[in-house]
Structures are given as C-alpha cells and as structure tokens.
Amino acid sequence: MPAAKNRKPLHLNAFLMSTGHHEASWRLPESPAEAGSDIEHYKNLARIAERGRLDSLFLADSPVLMGDPGRRPAAKLEPTVLLTALAGATERIGLIATASTSYNEPYNLARRFASLDHVSGGRAGWNIVTTAGADAARNFGLDDTPLHHERYRRAAEFVEVSTKLWDSWADDAVVADKESGVHALAERVRAIGHRGEFFRVDGPLNVQRPPQGYPLLVQAGSSEDGKDFAARYAEAVFTAQQTLEEGIAFYRDVKARAVALGRDPDGIKILPGIVPVIGDTEAEARELDAELDRLIVPEYAKRQLALRLKIAPDDLDLDAELPEDIPTEDEIEGAKSRYTLIVELARRERLTIRQLIGRLGGGRGHRTFAGTAEQVADTIEHWYDSGAADGFNIMPAVLPSGLEVFVDRVVPILQERGLFRTEYTGSTLREHYGLPRPANQLFDTADQAGRADRADRAAPAAAVPHTDLAAAGAR
C-alpha cells in the first residue's frame, strides 16, 4: 500500500437506485420488495453514505415509467420529495436531484431547488437533464420528444432563467427592521423580466436566495451537445466511461471546452460511474457478479436492448454478436453517447448479446469492476492519478449491501492513502466539492457595505409586482 500522499482529495457520490444498479438485484433474498417507494430503505442508504463521509447522494429521474414494471422495480419516488425527506435524516451529505428542463417550468423548479437548499442548509444539487424519449413526451401532451438540439437550447435558457430567479433576492435583502416596519430592502429584490426563445418569466422568485447561492449544477449527458452544455454550466459531470483511455479523453475534452469558455478547469468536477462488486477475494467478487447476471431474465433484457438500439428484438440472437446493420448515433434522438458506448463495448470485446446483456445489466453502460476492496481502491486511485476523474459516481450493484461494503472497506483505504476526507470540513454541498458560492449576477455584492447610501437613491421597488398581500391566503 502506498504511503499517504499530500494531495487533493477526490470526491465520491452515491448514486441511489432502489435495490441497486444491477437490474436483477431485486431478486436477491435480502432485497426489500417495494424498495423504490420505501422511505426507510432510502434513509438507511443516506445514513450509510454519510457515515462514509461521501460528498453527495444522487437520484436519476425521468417523468415516465421506465422499463417493464413486470420485470424489475419501476415505481419510485419523485427525487425532490425523496431528497427533502433524506435531508431530515442526515446532516452534512449533499443531495443531488435530477429534474427535466423539457417538462418543467423554470419558476416552479427554481422554487423547489431553492426550497430544498434552504431546508437542507445548503446541500441541494440539480442534475440538469433534457429527457429523451417519446414515452415521456406523451405524458405531457406531445407526440414525441423535441429534437436534441432544441432540447439543449431550452435547457440552456432554463438554467439562465433559474440563476436569475435565484439571484432576484440579494443575499442582504431581508433586514426585518421591526422598528421602522421595513422587512426587506425594496431595491434588493428585483424582477428579472426574462424574455427568451422558450420562456417569459417576470419574477422575482418568492423564495430568498438559497444558502448556496445556486444549488450545485450537475450534468450527465456526454453527447457533443451534452459536453458543450456541461462546459458552460455544469460544476459536476456524471459520465459513463468503460476504459481508462476513454475516461482520460473525456476528462480532457470537457475541461478544455470549459477553459475555452474562460472557466477554471477546477470548477468542473468529472465523476465517472463505477459499479464496484466487492469480495474478500477477486474470485469471490467475480462469482457475486456472475450470480447477479444469472438472475437476469434474458428475453426481457434482449427486448430492452433492442429498444435502445432501435431494432427489432428478433434481430438479436442471444448467442451471436451484435449485427452489423444497426443505426448510427446520428439516427438516435437522446442518450446518444450511451448508445455509442454500448455499440463500441460490444464490438471491441466481441461480446455475444447474452454477454453484452450481462455487462449492461450490472450498470447500464457504466463500468462494472469486480474485485477486492483493495483492488477497487487501486482502480479509483489509478483513474484519479491518470487524469480521468476528479472523483467517482459510486453505483453499487446491490443496495444497501454494496454501499455498506464500499463505505466500510474501500473508503478507509482511500482515507489511509490521503485520497479521501476522514471528516466533513464544510457544511454545504459546494464546500464538499471545493466549489465557490456563485456571485449574484443581479446585485453588486462586493459593494454591500454601501447599500444604505444606495437605498436612499433607489426608486421604491418599481420592478417588483405589488400583488395583493391578502391574496396569499387560502384560495
């Protein structure tokens, strides 16, 4: 084991998903039957992750029933609600919820994330997704998903509106001067008057600026549009990378794009996913992995794979390789980079469909690593030192057991090597990731000391709509 080095610690996120990331995990004897709806199950997971001093918890999401509910746990809880509940069960760990820019309104979503940030004392993060798929569209009055480019344009404007809404209250707006009867300084609360391609939003928000300024902005798409979006807006990026070389290339690519936009490369953290399957020996870990794969229902998994590849299930033979004649990435609308990753994995390793299903069943395209705790720590360290990662998105195959083993056996090794914190040093999610609290783009915060002077000059809140207070009551 190498001696503890004096280096910057890495970051670890726990990606929570029902009974685990392996699609057959629910069939293990210990898995709770209705884990997706079970708040006690999730509270337990959150407390385990916090015990390990992990930076954050993360929940994926799409506003549609995903997959065949007959074959795996498809029902779940809405992430902003679930993470709010987990905020009350924990004290320090960050809480990252996925939410769609295609099927929400900025005013509503900005309020919810601001509220989660207040309720959790500055622990909220937003994984910004554009939501591919006609099935989701059909829950919102549309026949099909908007095109990829258009979804990303809307996402960009959505984020711009949201940050303006979070900035519509200066941090020092509320004075609550009981003597004079002035609650907030009128000139420190401001309408945003946004007029754009997708949104018209007057503001201001009806929630005070969040403790973190903005929730941590996270992104997880790795298409060209996705990488450009990440470079511009994201502060953390979840990504699926199968090989170290691909991981390094992705890391350099995204950081370079951020630098080209004038950003500090250290202001955007790259977190590849890893599905650690941990045993006392490597053989034991591989056997656990194989045991899980044996629980996959192959015909169901084949049907899901065919759907993703936009081909007929009958065109796939479980014991043959991927056919040559499949669509190109350009023909796929959404989840583009994941599509390419799967095809390249199959071709590179010349996997049969049955083998490919096993590899995907464990992590849906994320990298599965079966080995001892020491080996898992080694591969994390190796990727980190090689410049492929600022940290990792930990996706246990089985929950809670896989998270427990990771926290109890891998984390101590990383701590011993000086690679991971032994105690939380900050209290907000941004502090855990070493990211700054954003300045307010609508108010000059550097000049706050001069605000009393400015208050005399300012017009009385002309920009703020004077809605009838009394109407705030029950209606």
Interface segment toward a copy of itself; rule CB under 8 A; list 170-178, 277-285, 345-353, 427-435: 170-178
What lies within 8 Å, CB to CB, of 299 at 6+ separation is: none
With contacts defined by CB under 8 A, name the span among 46-54, 254-262, 302-310, 442-450 that binds a copy of itself.
302-310
Site for a copy of itself (CB under 8 A): how many residues? 123
For the segment 220-259, give every residue that binds a copy of itself (CB under 8 A). Answer: 220-221, 238, 240
Say whether 291 sits in a helix, a strand or coil. Answer: helix
Using the rule CB under 8 A, is 468 a contact of a copy of itself?
A: yes
The beta-carbon contacts of 328-333 under 8 Å, at least 24 apart in sequence, are: 333/132, 333/145, 333/147, 333/148
Give the type of residue at 462.
A
Please give the sequence-ordered ranges of beta strands (E in DSSP) within 260-408, or none if there are none: 269-278, 367-371, 391-394
Handedness of CA 121, 220, 396, 6 (dihedral sign): negative
Cα separation of 340 and 328, whole Å? 8
Looking at beta carbons only, is 105 or 266 nearer to a copy of itself?
105
212 binds a copy of itself (CB under 8 A): no
- Does residue 464 belong to the site contacting a copy of itself (CB under 8 A)? yes
Does position 131 interact with a copy of itself (CB under 8 A)? The reply is yes
**Is residue 292 part of the contact set for a copy of itself (CB under 8 A)?**
no
**328 scored as a contact of a copy of itself (CB under 8 A):** no
Among 45, 48, 87, 234, binds a copy of itself (CB under 8 A): 87
CB of 262 to a copy of itself, least distance (A): 27
Neighbours of 258 (CB within 10 A): 22
* C-alpha closest to that of 356 among 395, 245, 365: 365
Rounded to whole angstroms, the Cα distance separating 219 from 199 reads: 21
Q: Among residues 44, 115, 340, 352, which is the contact residue for a copy of itself, using CB under 8 A?
A: 115
Q: Which of residues 394-453 bind a copy of itself (CB under 8 A)?
A: none
Q: Which stretch binds a copy of itself (CB under 8 A): 183-191, 367-375, 378-386, 433-441?
A: 183-191
Distance in Å, CB of 474 to a copy of itself, minimum? 4
| From candidates 7, 8, 91, 105, binder to a copy of itself by CB under 8 A | 105
Taking CB under 8 A as the rule, does residue 36 contact a copy of itself? yes
CB 264 within 8 A of CB 352: no
Residue-wise burial string across 141-155, b where 16 or more C-beta atoms lie within 10 A, e elsewhere: eeeebbebeebbbbb
Out of 47, 51, 107, 267, the residue judged to bind a copy of itself by CB under 8 A: 107
Question: Does 331 help bind a copy of itself (rule: CB under 8 A)?
Answer: no
Member of 20, 52, 204, 400 binding a copy of itself (CB under 8 A): 204
Cα 122 from Cα 134, distance rounded (Å) = 35
Q: Is there binding between residue 39 and a copy of itself (CB under 8 A)?
A: yes
Helix (H, G, I), strand (E, B) or coil at 339: helix
